[in-house]
Chain A
Amino acid sequence: MSELATNLRVVAALGRRSVRQTFRRPQLMAPIVVFPTLLLAVQTGGAGAAVNLPGFPPVQSFLQFMLAGAMMQSLMLAANSGGIALAVDIEMGFTDRLFAAPISRYAVVMGRLAGTAALGVASALWFLTIGLIFGAEIAGGVPGALVAIGLTAAATVAIGGLGASVALRTGQASIVQGMFPLIFVILFLSTAFFPDGLMVEPAQTIARYNPLSFVVEGIREPIVAGLDGTDVLDAVLAIAGIAAFSLLLSARALRHRLRVGG
């Protein structure tokens, strides 16, 4: 078996382990599915009339608008959970087992991110299904849904890289967990839950340039408007940028960990 094939098998095996781990520990599922679903229900039920505000973009319903936000929240929490799980692996010495194997050590990190991506896909499917059940339309049809799911998966890997880098650098689950409030701040300062045109300063400017806004608008476009392409392209570029940054940080953190042998 070639080295590449072995490493790909390892990434797949570690990805499967990561998904199984999440399903076997219900408390890991809660932030990915339960919290965003509850927030979606509360916001849709309580602020549904927001669509009638002057300046609100044309959408079929507030639920349709909110789906991308819920998917974004879920993927960010999945990414953070992936970082926490990696840190737990480091704390309990499980990564030593992996690092002592004749594989690329980057495959260990990629395996974790592969599992995180799979959870991102699962959460995207969950929210699209909920949307359809409660009457939201997917303007882009099946191709639009697939694009939204694909972007969600890619964004989960890109943002998961940040959690992984903190896990590798610190080796402490509590520190990765400490990023939880930060995720909400960054998320609420994006267009995930509200259009930037209706925000007040300085939130409006921050949301306009927040990379997450580009990602969320790319996921939203196929749902609310169909496959126009502009926002999707911006999202792809934003995800690529975040991925380049986060994977570079992860690679540096991994090299540091291997050097100090933690």
Chain B
Amino acid sequence: MRAIVVEGLERAFDEVLAVQGVDLEVEEGEIYGFLGPNGAGKTTTVRMLTTLLLPTGGSATVAGHDVVREARAVRASIGVALQEAALDPLMTGRELIRLQATLQGIPSAEGKRRADELLERVDLVEAADRRVGEYSGGMQRRLDLAAALVHRPRVLFLDEPTTGLDPVSRKTIWEEVRELNDDGTTVFLTTQYLEEADQLADNVAIIDRGRLVAEGTPESLKAEIGNPHIQLQLEEGSIAKAEEVCAAIGKLMPPKDGRTLLLEVERGAADIPRVVRALDEAGIGVAALELVQPTLDDVFVTKTGHHLEPDEEERGEEEPAPA
């Protein structure tokens, strides 16, 4: 059974099409990674699927319910943790989860029991009666996740759950997502982190400028790209000459910066001596060299022509503001 079915989904803000003809299917019980840079349309898509925003075209069903015609049934079936944990800093963690239980129509005594259970699950028992404003970023994300789980949703939407978190907090959230999925919850996860999609997702969709550019398992997408590439860090000012030399050996990929050259090669490690020799003969100094197997970034580059570079400073998607 499919948990989410999206057909030709569109959303326009005045003249700007933020999401254009998105089609996707998410099977029940899978983790679906929705990968894209800031402003790609990830949050707009999630807002439509969670009934917070009306589509201007196409259709979508979540947990078997139409997001427009059966919006309330959709909301009863989903858990939502939106970007930047929208929490009231004046509430305590316990108050927030109990409020969430009330919003889901859970009787008071049961809500209290589930709040205790969830606070323990996300390791916030000691902080439960402290105000959320005193929590660290990681604690806020864990609380947000706990609140989204209070009614045991069939489908869980996580919109960039680890953006801005330190690596340890990020791993904690990943573990929690895996556990939830093991319990049978379908997870729709948007992210701008390649590693996150690679580590967690059963299937990945890549969105860029409002359009879906690729979809499949991380392995199948990487296999589509095929060849590994050599990443060469060059000395200042030698990149143009190096490109000329390397173009004869393999296929040049769009450069990451002014010093790093990416060269797709057919034979992998066997091509390294040839590259080094050619550069040496041309008098080009190499500071570092690495053979990189295809990654989702390579998939992204192949499909879009540019790199996916998450910006830690950039917390929100720069999507057109609603009128």
Contacts and interface: CB of A to CB of B under 8 A. Distances in A.
Interface of A: 1, 6, 9-10, 13-14, 17, 20-21, 24-25, 89, 92-94, 96-103, 258-262
Nearest to B51: A100
Contacts of A99: 51-52
A101 B86 CA distance: 14
Interface stretch (B72-80, B199-207, B233-241): B72-80
Contact of A24 (B53, B90, B102, B321): B90
B47 A261 contact: yes
Given A101-B103, A102-B76, A261-B53, A25 B90 contact: yes
A92 B86 CA distance: 6
Pairs A-B, 3 closest by C-beta atoms: A261-B53, A93-B86, A101-B103
Contacts of A260: 53, 322-323
B105 interface: yes
A259 B54 contact: yes
Contacts of A17: 88, 91, 95, 99
Nearest to A100: B80
Which of A20, A98, A101: most chain B CB closer than 10 A?
A: A101
B52 A96 contact: yes
Nearest to A24: B90
B191 interface: no
Given A96-B82, A97-B86, 13 more contacts: A9-B102, A9-B105, A10-B102, A17-B95, A93-B83, A96-B86, A97-B100, A97-B147, A101-B103, A102-B75, A103-B105, A260-B323, A261-B47
Nearest to B131: A24
A98 B96 CA distance: 11
A195 B25 CA distance: 69
A261 B52 contact: yes
For B50, B83, B103, which residue has the most chain A Cβ atoms within 10 angstroms?
A: B103
A257 to B, nearest CB: 8
Contacts of B72: 102
5 contacts: A1-B107, A13-B99, A20-B95, A93-B83, A102-B76
A102 B104 contact: yes
B73 to A, nearest CB: 8
Contacts of A103: 103, 105
A15 to B, nearest CB: 12
A101 B104 contact: yes
Contacts of B104: 101-102
Nearest to A258: B54
A10 B103 contact: yes
Interface in B38-91: 47, 50-54, 72-73, 75-76, 78, 80, 82-84, 86-88, 90-91
A100 B51 CA distance: 7
Contacts of A92: 86, 88
Q: Is the interface of B mostly helix, strand, loop or mixed?
A: loop
B258 to A, nearest CB: 38
Given A6-B105, A13-B99, A259-B54, A93 B84 contact: yes
Interface in B249-271: none
A208 B149 CA distance: 56
B297 to A, nearest CB: 30
Contacts of A6: 105
Contact of B86 (A1, A94, A258): A94
Interface string B89-119: 0110001000110111101000000000000
Interface string B155-190: 000000000000000000000000000000000000
A17 B52 CA distance: 22
**Best-buried of B88, B321, B322 by chain A (most CB within 10 Å):** B88
A10 B108 CA distance: 11
Contacts of A261: 47, 52-54, 322
A14 B98 CA distance: 11
A17 B54 CA distance: 29
B50 A100 contact: yes
A93 B317 CA distance: 14
A258 B100 CA distance: 20
A250 to B, nearest CB: 18
B88 A21 contact: yes
Contacts of B84: 93
A1 B322 CA distance: 36
Contacts of B131: 24
A93 B323 contact: no
Contacts of B99: 13-14, 17
Nearest to B99: A13
B315 to A, nearest CB: 11
Contacts of B51: 99-100
B303 to A, nearest CB: 28
A1 B105 contact: yes
A135 to B, nearest CB: 38
A143 B197 CA distance: 66
Nearest to B75: A102
Interface in B116-156: 131, 147
